[in-house]
Structure 1
């Protein structure tokens, strides 16, 4: 045994037994006790005829008693160790000595009191050595107890033979010492192997536990929305598929999609952390409204979903309860936030039986609810589906028209009311479909806006207008400034819009040739500041802005203060009854007065009668347009009118330019 191995063995002695080691000892103690009892009986039978008497009976009684007591304690105990204390270790060491004493005593008696009986000496020696080996096997995981057991027995053997008259007793003592060292080394190494194995098992168990916890965490992250603690889109999709599989033969279920109204305003004004807290609070309220086994999920952003097993007849009441609950103020970080939610719903199996279709119909209902305003709800219906399919078809036809150049531009002339002369025109998009015929802009432009096609439509209009202006210039005709209408979506693509103006400038058409018309709808989007900044940039380029449909919005006067407009257009709704409604007459008069005080030009739309014209002239309007003069005209016809090639129409309906 080299020095490093000795150091390792000595270091092993300092290892504190664990509860598993004591449980191992308790588990094998009954076997050791039974073996000890059997050996005691064999020794009694073998030696009784030689040395039988009081001493042997006392020895046997003690041995049987101590082993019987230990056996009973081991059998009655649970075999479980809660913790390893210093007191418990002392008890185990005392137990080891008590278990070793009978065999140590037997050896001492055999070499002293019964020294004349050679068989007794041999029998006691074999029994002692055998029990020492057995004790080493039993106690090796509690190493100090094993060493005490070995030293007690083999120490007695060494002492007995050294102080006896046995020839060559020193050799027997040396053998016992070597045997003691061997068994000690054996016990230590076996203990170390067990400890290493246990450490490896513990490490493996810990690693497996960590992997299981990591896997649980990964599953949680994969299927849980961390912000709200609700199901995420993936988990909701699984729940939806499972509900669809089990929907046959049941009353079905409802799929609700929800979207917070004005949520971006919360993020923009109060910060994203407050917005996140609001989303978490919304999730809690939704969970409180629903009952088992309904599934509540946050799909993305401010979009939530509920899979609820509510009959169709009761779904409307549930949706109203959701809208009402979300209308109650939220207290977030000491701030009172008023929010609202829009809800759309579709049903399985009446509306759809597959997840993609059902989600699409619920989303369609949600979009319909949001078009009605804030805090609205909508149940999917076949009529809504038909409208959606028609919108899809119309959107595809618009895309086709953009590809084939089927869109056209007609021009609605504007006239100076003081002398009746033409002063420019408004470019109006027109579409004549081969099968559908004339398609009104009021019908296809909202669909184009919804599908993100407005920038392409505006590009087509600019292309046509610029080419028509080139043709008029080559014909030596000046139509005057042409007004092009801008949609709110155009202001979301500033680079595209500014590119159109750069193209116009490159072709020789500057601010005196083009006017850009905007409506109040351009500023009802989520980021009106960006739109206003873009319009100011356009104004800085010299292009004039005209505010269309003035008076129909809720903030018309504030726009006059913030926008760089040069012209306002009074909506036709105020002109239709101007000669029959004192209120309309007063509104138009007041608007004209405001425009004059702000040095803004005025254009009145929808002038259709001579009486309307004379009233507007008396009120001081600058320009007008409408069927009193002419409908919107194709570029070629407008050119002929300007050139005077068309005879004057009936004076009761139109006048010449």
Structure 2
């Protein structure tokens, strides 16, 4: 459906995706035809809203591979066969690394490194996303606690939370249990939620869950802001402490005046609500300097550090703490004087 329809005074936009196969070319058996049509439908949905997809023979082999990877992923989660990489988040006022985003990585015994863009959809499709999420949460909190014990500066760890996790009735209890087991101070854990959570769940229920998490002392961040189901009511009514602005607003900001004006408006809005702004995906030093000029609070991106294993991430952070102000702050001051 191209145009939204009105139902109970609400505008509802709907779309349809189609999957099909041909008889007798693909099969003469009704059950097999339905199975292959379903495979085609899954591919159509992956292609985007409103897509049409006919069955292809390659889909069967892809299904076999996906099924095998799902089995291996289940074993990797259960047997600690995954590992984490950490990407630094830098405070642009102090020039210090204040935290890391933790990112799951999987090195398959036979297939080598499998990208998150491959195994996370498999986790979602196979019902493993909640197990994966809890594994990442536990491993992240354990690592952050180790940093504290080793005497490193207090830095928070940010963990992504899926819409499916939020819908679990025991999610808040699971987070509390992990904090108790790892003995990580709750204020050093930040949970990041994308706007899709609000599209897939009741806003009232999400608010109740987030307020319960806030009650534990955990910090909350709205991730990928500006890419989807946006509503100012989320920012006004939900207990977020920071807003992560999507990389699409950041990439090329040193060359795009219009994008710079848009980002300045977002920063002003978020600051008016007494929240911190975090720019994602900054890939060059010139972008970081523009972000500093605009008043962004924190930055995360390749310009300041790529995701890396825990020990390397700590070394990288300590180096950033020593070098950031000399590299960026002096340059911004020099430009403002000129």
TM class by shorter chain equals 0.7 to 0.9
Looking at structure 1, the residues matched to 268 and 296 of structure 2 have their Cα atoms a distance apart, in angstroms, of: 9
Maintained 8 Å contact 1:518/1:547 = yes
Looking at structure 1, the residues matched to 223 and 4 of structure 2 have their Cα atoms a distance apart, in angstroms, of: 37
Maintained 8 Å contact 1:490/1:497 = no
Q: 1:538 to 1:363 in 2, by over 3 A?
A: same
The residue number in structure 1 matching 2:111 is 436
Instruction: Note the residue ranges of structure 2 that are not aligned, 5 or more in a row.
Output: 329-338
Question: What is the CA deviation profile of residues 544-578 of structure 1, one whole-angstrom value per residue up to 9, with x for unaligned ones?
Answer: 11011111114243321232211001112221110
Looking at structure 1, the residues matched to 12 and 174 of structure 2 have their Cα atoms a distance apart, in angstroms, of: 41
2:77 pairs, out of 402, 409, 413, with 402
Looking at structure 1, the residues matched to 298 and 265 of structure 2 have their Cα atoms a distance apart, in angstroms, of: 16
User: In the alignment, does 2:152 pair up with 1:466?
Assistant: no
The residue number in structure 1 matching 2:178 is 503
Q: 1:348 to 1:567 in 2, by over 3 A?
A: same
Looking at structure 1, the residues matched to 246 and 306 of structure 2 have their Cα atoms a distance apart, in angstroms, of: 17
The residue number in structure 2 matching 1:254 is none
Looking at structure 2, the residues matched to 434 and 507 of structure 1 have their Cα atoms a distance apart, in angstroms, of: 29
Looking at structure 2, the residues matched to 622 and 329 of structure 1 have their Cα atoms a distance apart, in angstroms, of: 41
User: In the alignment, does 2:195 pair up with 1:520?
Assistant: yes
User: In the alignment, does 2:197 pair up with 1:550?
Assistant: no
1:39-50 aligned within 5 A: none
User: In the alignment, does 2:270 pair up with 1:611?
Assistant: no
1:96-495 aligned within 5 A: 341-372=16-47, 376-495=51-170
SS in structure 2 of the partner of residue 500 of structure 1 = helix
Question: What is the CA deviation profile of residues 571-615 of structure 1, one whole-angstrom value per residue up to 9, with x for unaligned ones?
Answer: 122211101112211121111111111111011112222211111
Looking at structure 1, the residues matched to 196 and 130 of structure 2 have their Cα atoms a distance apart, in angstroms, of: 16
1:610-629 aligned within 5 A: 610-629=285-304
Instruction: Note the residue ranges of structure 1 that are not aligned, 5 or more in a row.
Output: 1-322
Q: 1:400 to 1:354 in 2, by over 3 A?
A: farther
SS in structure 1 of the partner of residue 21 of structure 2 = strand
Maintained 8 Å contact 1:477/1:642 = no
Q: Which has the higher contact order (CA 8 A, sep 6+)?
A: 2
User: In the alignment, does 2:225 pair up with 1:536?
Assistant: no
Q: TM-score, normalised by structure 2?
A: 0.84
SS in structure 1 of the partner of residue 103 of structure 2 = strand
SS in structure 2 of the partner of residue 549 of structure 1 = strand
How many correspondences in the alignment? 323
Question: What is the CA deviation profile of residues 458-482 of structure 1, one whole-angstrom value per residue up to 9, with x for unaligned ones?
Answer: 1211221122123222212234111
Maintained 8 Å contact 2:138/2:178 = no
Maintained 8 Å contact 2:305/2:316 = no
2:239 pairs, out of 544, 553, 564, with 564
Question: What is the CA deviation profile of residues 169-205 of structure 1, one whole-angstrom value per residue up to 9, with x for unaligned ones?
Answer: xxxxxxxxxxxxxxxxxxxxxxxxxxxxxxxxxxxxx
Q: TM-score, normalised by structure 1?
A: 0.45
Residue 337 of structure 1 deviates from its aligned partner by 9.6
Maintained 8 Å contact 1:550/1:556 = no
Looking at structure 1, the residues matched to 188 and 89 of structure 2 have their Cα atoms a distance apart, in angstroms, of: 14
Q: Which has the higher strand share?
A: 2
Looking at structure 1, the residues matched to 97 and 111 of structure 2 have their Cα atoms a distance apart, in angstroms, of: 34
The residue number in structure 2 matching 1:601 is 276
Residue 328 of structure 1 deviates from its aligned partner by 11
Q: 1:396 to 1:419 in 2, by over 3 A?
A: same
Residue 383 of structure 1 deviates from its aligned partner by 4.1
Looking at structure 1, the residues matched to 322 and 112 of structure 2 have their Cα atoms a distance apart, in angstroms, of: 29
Q: Which has the higher helix share?
A: 1
Looking at structure 1, the residues matched to 4 and 217 of structure 2 have their Cα atoms a distance apart, in angstroms, of: 48
Maintained 8 Å contact 2:21/2:36 = yes
SS in structure 2 of the partner of residue 633 of structure 1 = coil
Larger radius of gyration: 1
Q: 1:635 to 1:598 in 2, by over 3 A?
A: same
Looking at structure 2, the residues matched to 337 and 612 of structure 1 have their Cα atoms a distance apart, in angstroms, of: 39
Question: What is the CA deviation profile of residues 276-298 of structure 1, one whole-angstrom value per residue up to 9, with x for unaligned ones?
Answer: xxxxxxxxxxxxxxxxxxxxxxx
2:257 pairs, out of 543, 560, 582, with 582
Looking at structure 2, the residues matched to 612 and 576 of structure 1 have their Cα atoms a distance apart, in angstroms, of: 8
